[in-house]
Structure 1
Amino acid sequence: MKYVIVIPDGCADEPLEATGGKTALQAANLPAMDALAQRGSLALANNTPSHLPAGSEVANLCLFGYDPDKYFTGRAPLEAAAQGIELAPHDFAVRCNLVTIVDQIMVDFTADHISTDEATELLAALQKELLGDSDFDSRLEFVPGVSYRNLLLYRGAPDAPAPFNSETRTSAPHDLTDLPVGDDFPRGPGSDTLVRLMNGSADLFANHPVNQKREAAGKGIATNVWLWGLGGAPNMPTFQERFGVQGAMITAVDLLRGIAALAGWPRIEVDGATGYLDTNYAGKGQAAVKALDEYDLVCVHVEAPDEASHEGRHDAKIQAMQQIDTHIVSPIVEALEKHGEYRILVTPDHPTFCRTKKHAHGMVPLVMAGSGIDADNQSTYDEVAAAASGRRFDKGWDLMDTFVSQ
């Protein structure tokens, strides 16, 4: 049996006024996904328990069959795993966004998609000038990632526990777009350290050459770092230990790379895969087709619909879904049919609303098709059709048992 999971991140939405009351999925032209709906089974799944963040970190763990109450420790540890960073029992990882805040409003949680080289230079300045000669704990270290997505590590010790713990409260910057941030700075244990670093970065970045060059080029600047999503080392079984199937991951996002690493999945990198609307859709589809010759299960994650939602661009969201349908789902289905028995699952991780530009709790629509999956008389893949199917996975982590069952 061959398995494929396609994740159009954040594609679930509410009815949109601009599309005459249709969701983005309903408004998009998705012949390949609709064909799966016609010969497969639709359902709704809840990957975002109400007591946990409605973000990709929780939602994707659920989607892959991991109960977040058992395995979720924070977003940053998952991203640390993507970089091959091992966290010891007393270590902590903190997500470090480069952001643009103007007059206490979160103007851009990506600092206008700052380049990796520019981000690395800014973080090096923070390490040297803010942490290098100050009263900050010497166990703190900034670690560059990709573009605006970076990390702050705390290397603890048994006799010097971290100042952070599960009671430290932070807010995801992508949920604050165009909103005041004054009430969303870190709170609770260790928050004083995090706030001082955030404020200190604003002073250091104000006249930094990187920002001067970006401003001269008409680009948005990184006003400061935003620290959030902290947690300690996760401890989870591999996917093969859980389900007896060996997978591989295709993604441009470190969070998904990290989950894949912890699940024991190798990563397949695709040239031109950006984690944004301009990603190489066709390249991802071709890589998945090729990977089916080697792996039992291939997962293709596409961040583009989520990015469009965060920008409030329903048109870009619709276009991204059509690109996924044409260049990823369609060629994968064609390839699967040559392999014999197969199953394919298309599902977002969580809803992201264009209206609010935020992730949201709630059900997402999914479609499964292939060997041993009976048709349920639906003709389109969207939220309304999935709800009409009457099938629900109230605990999203139960879905994978159904999908990979022999």
Structure 2
Amino acid sequence: MSIDFPDFPLSITISHMKYVIIIPDGAADLPLEDFDGKTAFQAANIPNTDALAKAGRIGTANTTPQGMPCGSDVCSMSLLGYDPAEYHTGRAPLEAAALGIPLSDTDWIFRVNFVTVIDGNMQDHSAGAITDNEARTLLADFAKEFSLDGVKIYPGVSYRNILIDSSGSRDYSELVTTPPHDVPGEPMKKYLPVGGESAQVLCDIIHRSETIFADHEINATRREIGDAPATHLWPWGQGTKPQMPTFLEKYGIKGAMITAVDLLAGISAFIGWDRLDVPGQTSYHDTDYAAAGTHAIAALDAYDIVCVHVEAPDEASHAADAKTKVAAIESIDQHIVGPIHNALEDRGEPYRILLLPDHYTRVDNRKHHARPVPFLIAGHKMKGAVERTYCEANAEASDLHIEHGHELMEFFLQSGL
């Protein structure tokens, strides 16, 4: 669909509104055998989400532009109102910004995972959700054995790290890399970096890390207790520093982000949103859902728009864990959706809530899937003609379909006002 809006500034009409976005990352799915042909959303008990869907509108949004990869970097940028075709330069620069790493316009930035490769096949994109301390020790020992002019690796959270090549002498513009979570169970050699002479730099890092980590005491311990070892470093997601207008400049309102993931925090940094410090936030089902809901409610006093991002459904999908995926969706409904909706009602001022995953993540093959995602919008002047509960099939059956995902934000902020 195409959307036409008035030429006057959005802030004139929406400054009195409060907005909340809730992102259950990767929660959309295809029907699953585990649930007798139901999706995770259909199998989950989500009374608060269903109530909002019935009271508001549901539809689909294509968050993956044609020709672009279906990843959280592209899809999250899209759902936050920025056209990836215009602003996306790569995933890694976004995560680097979240870590506060200074970037120059000539730097090449990469995401680097600790991964587990067994018998030549990619088994785990997160090295068994390796701990921060283990990851930092391994990275420090790798740096003692491997060095390259202008290249530095920065530790992040768990299996996530950042590599920056600031040498200015290597060109990665032809490089092709593969996210490790896209190739579970497949041969590592098939997906080594290719394209241009500089690809060999990354291949050297991968092969050298295998040697350094093979007999490392951390991996020996992890094997003894049944945890996946960190067998390799895997660079991917390369890009250069993007140039993006702030959300305040683009939409006229001030925002904040709650997330445990550097990627979302990095996008927030580039669009001028504050990242809120919320204790207990992780990428997994052990995250403190209630704390995220409570802090989002408190943030409404200081911000016009607050976004709560929860990574747990996506990680459960990548682990082929349908049961945990449903449990994560139910926890989001109970501890985030319900309390936030109640708090907005109690405030007695106009509000809107947008809930949607950034992309599908399929439990059956543990991969992302570039299908338009289901969304719901509820609140001020937002009522559909037909009451529907929230799930993929009902969203597809509606008459509201956003062809270009980045246009959903303006529809959410402005439609009907």
Task: From 133, 139, 148, give the equivalent of 2:150.
Answer: 139
Preserved contact between residue 54 and residue 359 of structure 1 (Cα < 8 Å): yes
- The corresponding residue for 1:402 is 411
Counterpart mapping for 1:19-168 below 5 A:
19-131=35-147, 136=148, 138-157=149-168, 160=169, 162-165=170-173, 167-168=174-175
Distance in 2, matches of 1:376 and 1:144, equals 50
Corresponding position: 1:224 with 2:235: no
SS of the aligned residue for 1:182 comes to helix
Deviation at 1:213, TM superposition (A): 2.7
Task: From 178, 194, 197, give the equivalent of 1:187.
Answer: 194
How many residue pairs were aligned?
397
Distance in 1, matches of 2:224 and 2:278, equals 32
Distance in 2, matches of 1:215 and 1:304, equals 25
- The corresponding residue for 1:286 is 294
Distance in 2, matches of 1:114 and 1:45, equals 34
Distance in 2, matches of 1:188 and 1:168, equals 4
Corresponding position: 1:383 with 2:384: no
Deviation at 1:338, TM superposition (A): 2.1
Preserved contact between residue 65 and residue 85 of structure 2 (Cα < 8 Å): no
Deviations 1:233-252 (A, max 9, x none): 11101111110111100000
TM superposition outliers: structure 1 runs of 4+ over 3 Å: none
SS of the aligned residue for 2:190 comes to coil
Deviation at 1:297, TM superposition (A): 0.5
Distance in 1, matches of 2:34 and 2:131, equals 33
Q: How well do the aligned residues superpose, as a CA RMSD in angstroms? A: 1.1
Counterpart mapping for 1:214-293 below 5 A:
214-293=222-301
Task: From 305, 309, 325, give the equivalent of 1:301.
Answer: 309
State, as a whole percentage, how many aligned pairs show the same letter.
48
Deviation at 1:390, TM superposition (A): 1.6
Deviation at 1:87, TM superposition (A): 1.6
Task: From 331, 354, 360, give the equivalent of 1:323.
Answer: 331
Distance in 1, matches of 2:382 and 2:235, equals 44
Preserved contact between residue 353 and residue 377 of structure 2 (Cα < 8 Å): yes
Counterpart mapping for 1:168-179 below 5 A:
168-179=175-186
Whichever residue aligns with residue 249 of structure 2, its letter is E
Residue ranges of structure 1 left out of the alignment (5+ in a row): none
Preserved contact between residue 115 and residue 232 of structure 2 (Cα < 8 Å): yes
Preserved contact between residue 378 and residue 389 of structure 1 (Cα < 8 Å): no
Distance in 2, matches of 1:224 and 1:125, equals 13
Preserved contact between residue 151 and residue 167 of structure 2 (Cα < 8 Å): no
Distance in 2, matches of 1:209 and 1:313, equals 29
Deviations 1:23-49 (A, max 9, x none): 111111110011011110101001112
Deviation at 1:57, TM superposition (A): 0.3
SS of the aligned residue for 1:143 comes to strand
Whichever residue aligns with residue 164 of structure 2, its letter is L
Corresponding position: 1:370 with 2:386: no
SS of the aligned residue for 2:188 comes to coil
Deviation at 1:212, TM superposition (A): 2.3
Larger deviation, residues 298-307 vs 79-88: 79-88
Deviation at 1:120, TM superposition (A): 1.0
Deviation at 1:377, TM superposition (A): 1.2
Distance in 2, matches of 1:247 and 1:11, equals 24
Deviation at 1:117, TM superposition (A): 1.2
Larger deviation, residues 73-82 vs 117-126: 117-126
Preserved contact between residue 376 and residue 389 of structure 1 (Cα < 8 Å): no
Preserved contact between residue 11 and residue 305 of structure 1 (Cα < 8 Å): yes
Preserved contact between residue 40 and residue 376 of structure 1 (Cα < 8 Å): no
Residue ranges of structure 2 left out of the alignment (5+ in a row): 1-16
Q: TM-score, normalised by structure 2?
A: 0.93
Whichever residue aligns with residue 173 of structure 1, its letter is P
Distance in 2, matches of 1:300 and 1:152, equals 28
Preserved contact between residue 250 and residue 270 of structure 1 (Cα < 8 Å): yes
